[in-house]
A and B are shown apart, each in its own frame.
Chain A
């Protein structure tokens, strides 16, 4: 599925009566390909879309086997998936993709790792309530996690210049040995596009790889030895060597383009990572000798600054190829070429836009904000309603809301009169003595203390101790398992609404049966548990039971609605 095609297992029939040959039907960019399982069989199909004049397929929800019938200029062909497609039932709405072997292995591993998941899996998929596909459909994230670890993150390039490691110079046999690894190759190709181009052009047609690199390193050696005369001499002889010695013309073009695009506004930000100055010679091997520029030899010289800048630019740009592609020189070269092509097609359009943006950016950066008139048209003015409006509207709305509360309404005069009476009663009679009867006081005290002590002992003194920990482990495990399974059921149940196909309907019915089973299980749990923890268990179970109830109520309501709608239809469709 990753290379832009869709594959399905089907049987290919030339006519309806034909038994059909099993094989695979793939949908590539503009054609349908059919390859039978048995390579010796003659029935192959390779049809481009433009030749197909008509196609028919069996209606969803009908009882016939699903078939796709293609008519074209050439012939009429029919394709049908094999009858033994797993768990499809009468019609297939579920994507019956065959999970790849890797996926299956990964799923098995996930199940092994988590016993919770395994129990859930056994309970639902084993019990026939959910199918494998549905079970794993909600866990896509888990499955994808693995593929993500092969991740989009690539390692960055090293800051040190790899290509400048000192070669082994053997004085006795007069040999200089350079080391070459794919990473060094990558660095060389990224930093010196002319070399890259030369490689692609010359290897393997004109020179072998070994020769190519020998010449390259010879050029490097010559450069390093600062023997310009020798360099010019050798360059005159060997044109490839000349390429390596001359300044890089691709680079020059790019640099010219970049200079045009430079933002004249400064953005000064440097941190320690930019501090390469503490490495001797900035990490690049140089002799201590002074470089005296000679006229006419400018073409063959490379300065430290040029190398350093080029390396830095490449490192900052990052690496466009993966670690895996660093296998050998050829692949590295091709990969870099591909990425460069992509980038160049993308950047061509950007150039004209970039100019405009650059101009806009310059004008924005150069204007001084203080001197400009204020134009906050891009900010909406803050407007908060006057709070007095809110409080004034209380009067109007509160009259409406409090109507139910005033039953047996007394006129306000009477009400105030009552109050006044009470006050004068106290004044005249004085207070009761005692103010509270002793039995009542006793009752109140005991109620209060009971209340306080019950909350104190039952809600746990330590903040870390939770209610679940105080239950016996078997009960706790059962509770947790019930909770997880109910969660899973709920997820599947609510995601199947609104019910549009028969498949969803059957799924919902199965789920509902499972839910009523769970409900009775919870009830049983409540009854069999010990009496001293029964109250807490009830409190814990209550939300689960409420969720189950809500789901079942919804189901019943939908059924009723359906039934009434069906009755309304004149033809009696259901």
Chain B
């Protein structure tokens, strides 16, 4: 997309990378207030809104599947501008088409692993975050004139605690590049990872109470570009759930042991850190309980 070279990019231009959760296991079990097709319709209208707000706005849509993630739509690519067919505007039909292809691909990849009958309910958020960040890095290196990027994560699946480290790494690199990660969480319980993401990167985390008005939430809160955020008040959550997941069992814990060398977190006492190999001394607690035993015996 050719920008007018004489005019600099205006302040309120945004590059919005939207991560849509297409985990079938979540959507098949989700509550009746929001099913997948309502969700997609709200999101499509929202995307249209962003594109219409400014000629220079760009959006990129990445789908977060169960087994894979992929780019669905990039408004800056020439190949993605297609003419509309039927009643739907071009944007919508294109996105829907690509979504369908993506779901097929996801299923095929899932089928290969069908031998193991267990199912994870979480989607590959770490993958899509990484893809988003890579795209943004490319935009940064494309030249001095580029819109301000931000990431909007539309997630419903619960956190996969095995992805803790990768998600945290993605969050910290987003913080480093000053890319805010907003999150609109449509699942049932709050997501600790996404709350932390928004808190650390300076984004907004919203868990809508009235899911039938999802579009209204999106338009009011998440359509605001970065420049305007300095003089608009956006809702902030009351608290952030800062729990981490342990490195040995990948369970979410709030009390555990930390290696003083590499800061890896463990839920129970180990003799040796599995990440950096440093040997731990005897735990304080064991020594105290030994003394206790001796005292009570005497």
Q: How far is the CA of A416 from the CA of B102 in the complex (A)?
A: 11
Q: Does A171 contact B (CB under 8 A)?
A: no
Contact B276 A385 (CB under 8 A): yes
> Complex Cα distance A410/B234, Å?
39
Contact string, B58-84, partner A, CB cutoff 8 A, digits 1/0?
Answer: 000000000000000000000000000
Interface string of B280-292 (1 = CB under 8 A from A): 0000000000001
Q: Which residues 12-71 in B have Cβ within 8 Å of A in the complex?
A: 22, 24-25, 27-29, 35-37, 40-42, 44-45
Return the contact of A415 from the options B25, B161, B249 (Cβ within 8 A). B25
B25 touches A410 (CB 8 A): yes
Q: Does A75 contact B (CB under 8 A)?
A: no
Assess whether B29 is in contact with A408, with CB atoms less than 8 Å apart: yes
On whether the beta carbons of B42 and A390 are closer than 8 Å, the reply is: no
User: Complex: how many Å from CA A403 to CA B160?
Assistant: 12
CB-defined contacts of B235 to chain A, threshold 8 Å? 448, 451-452, 455
- The 8 A CB mask of A415-427 against B (1 = contact, 0 = none) is 1101110111111
- Which residues does chain A contribute within 8 Å of B103, judged by CB atoms? 416, 419-420, 423
Contacts of A431 in B (CB 8 A): 41, 44-45, 88, 92
Main secondary structure of the interface of A (DSSP, over half): helix
Select one of A382, A406, A448 contacting B220, CB under 8 A. Answer: A448
Report yes or no: B41 in contact with A432, Cβ–Cβ below 8 A: yes
Question: What separation, in Å, do the CA atoms of A437 and B120 have in the docked complex?
Answer: 35
Structural contact, A419 and B36, CB atoms closer than 8 A: yes
Which residues of chain B from 251 to 294 have any CB-CB distance to chain A below 8 Å in the complex?
251, 262, 274-277, 292
Does B244 count as interface, using CB distance less than 8 angstroms?
Answer: no
Least Cβ–Cβ distance between B49 and chain A, in angstroms: 10
Stretch at the interface among A92-100, A393-401, A513-521: A393-401
A397 to B44, CA, bound (A): 36
**Judging by beta carbons under 8 Å apart, are B210 and A394 in contact?**
no
Please report the C-alpha to C-alpha distance between residue A445 and residue B219 in the assembled complex, in whole angstroms. 10
What residues of B have a CB within 8 angstroms of the CB of A394 in the complex? 162-163, 250
- Given contacts A416-B103, A441-B216, whether A427 and B93 have CB atoms under 8 Å apart is yes
Residue of A nearest to B121 (CB): A405
- Whether a CB of chain B sits under 8 angstroms from the CB of A272 is no
A256 contacts across to B, CB distance below 8 A: none
Contact at A385–B22, with CB atoms within 8 Å?
no
Out of B96, B120, B275, name the residue touching A385 (CB < 8 Å): B275
A152 to chain B minimum Cβ distance, whole angstroms, is 31
Instruction: Indicate whether A379 reaches chain B with its CB closer than 8 angstroms.
Output: no
> Is A436's beta carbon under 8 Å from chain B?
yes
CB nearest to B27 among chain A residues: A419
Contacts of B236 in A (CB 8 A): 455
Q: Does A456 contact B (CB under 8 A)?
A: yes
Instruction: Judge whether B87 and A452 touch: CB under 8 Å.
Output: no
Q: Is the CB of B295 within 8 A of A500?
A: yes
B residues within 8 A CB of A573? none
Chain A residues, Cβ within 8 Å of B158: 405
Chain B residues 117 to 138 lying within 8 A of chain A, measured CB to CB, are 118-122
Q: Chain B, interface size: which category?
A: 35 or more
Task: Given the known inter-chain contacts A409-B119, A444-B216, please indicate yes or no for A435 contacting B249, CB distance below 8 A.
Answer: no
Does the CB pair B216–A412 fall under 8 Å? no
Least Cβ distance of B43 to chain A in Å? 10
- Closest chain-B Cβ to A427's Cβ sits at a distance in Å of 6
Chain A residues near B296: list those with CB within 8 A: 498, 500
Kindly list chain B residues whose C-beta atoms are within 8 Å of the C-beta of A420. 100, 103-104
Q: Which of B3-11, B106-114, B141-149, B178-186 contacts A (4 or more CB under 8 A)?
A: B106-114
| Separation of A452 and B229 alpha carbons in the complex (Å) | 14
Task: Chain A residues near B45: list those with CB within 8 A.
Answer: 431, 435
Please measure, in the bound complex, the distance between the C-alpha atom of A557 and the C-alpha atom of B153, giving whole angstroms: 46
- Give chain A nearest CB distance to B126 CB in angstroms: 9
**B12 → A minimal CB distance (Å):** 20
In the assembly, what is the distance between CA of A435 and CA of B295, in Å? 71
A-B contact count (CB 8 A): 165
CB distance from A446 to the nearest CB of B (A): 11
Among B36, B42, B104, B165: residue with most chain A CB under 10 A: B36
Q: Mark B154-189, 1 if CB is under 8 A from A, else 0.
A: 000010111101100000000000000000000000
Collect the chain A residues with CB atoms within 8 Å of residue B107's CB. Answer: 412-413, 416
Identity of the chain B residue whose Cβ is nearest the Cβ of A409 in the assembled complex: B119
Minimal beta-carbon separation of A499 from chain B (angstroms):
9
Query: Residue B209 at the A interface, CB < 8 A?
Result: yes
CA A391 to CA B295, docked complex, whole Å: 46
| Closest CB in chain B relative to A29 CB, distance in Å | 29
B277 cross-chain contacts in A, Cβ below 8 A = 383-385
Residue contact B88 to A403, C-beta cutoff 8 Å: no
For A427, give its contact among B29, B35, B96 (CB under 8 Å): B96
In the assembled complex, the Cα of A485 lies from the Cα of B275 at a distance in Å of 44
B119 and A412 contacting across the interface, CB-CB below 8 Å: yes
Cβ distance B156 to chain A, nearest Cβ, rounded Å: 12
Write out, one digit per residue, whether chain A residues 444-476 have a CB within 8 A of any chain B CB (1) or not (0): 110110011001100000000000000000000
* Contact across chains for A437 and B28 when beta carbons are under 8 A apart: no
Report yes or no: B41 in contact with A419, Cβ–Cβ below 8 A: no
- Min CB–CB distance B97 → chain A (angstroms): 8
A498-B292 CB under 8 A given contacts A399-B118, A419-B103 = yes
A541 CB to closest chain B CB (Å) equals: 17
Asked if B212 lies at the interface with its beta carbon under 8 angstroms from chain A, I say: yes
- For the complex formed, measure the closest distance between the CB of B31 and the CB atoms of chain A, giving whole angstroms: 12
Which residues from A are CB-within-8-Å of B116?
Answer: 399
Give every chain A residue within 8 A of B213 (Cβ-Cβ).
Answer: 436-437, 440-441, 443-444
Report if A440-B119 is in contact (Cβ < 8 Å); known contacts: A385-B275, A456-B233.
no
Q: Is B140 an interface residue (CB 8 A)?
A: no
A500 to B293, CA, bound (A): 11
Determine the chain B residues whose CB is within 8 A of the CB of A425 once the complex forms. Answer: 37
Tell me whether A531 is interfacial, beta carbon within 8 Å.
no
Which one of A426, A430, A452 lies within 8 Å of B233 (CB-CB)?
A: A452
Q: Given A423-B40, A423-B103 in contact, is the A435-B162 Cβ separation under 8 Å?
A: no
Complex CA–CA separation, A391 to B160 (angstroms)? 12
Q: Please, which residues of chain B bring their CB within 8 A of the CB of A348?
A: none
- Bound together, the chains give a CA A444 to CA B119 distance in angstroms of 35
- Judge if A260 is at the interface, Cβ distance under 8 Å: no
User: What would 9 A/B residue contacts be, using CB atoms closer than 8 Å?
Assistant: A383-B276, A384-B277, A397-B249, A401-B249, A412-B107, A412-B111, A426-B40, A437-B213, A498-B292
Query: Can you name 12 extra interface pairs (CB under 8 A) apart from A431-B92, A452-B235?
Result: A401-B161, A402-B119, A403-B118, A405-B121, A410-B29, A419-B22, A422-B27, A432-B41, A436-B213, A441-B216, A445-B220, A448-B220
Pairs A-B, 3 closest by C-beta atoms: A415-B24, A422-B37, A405-B121
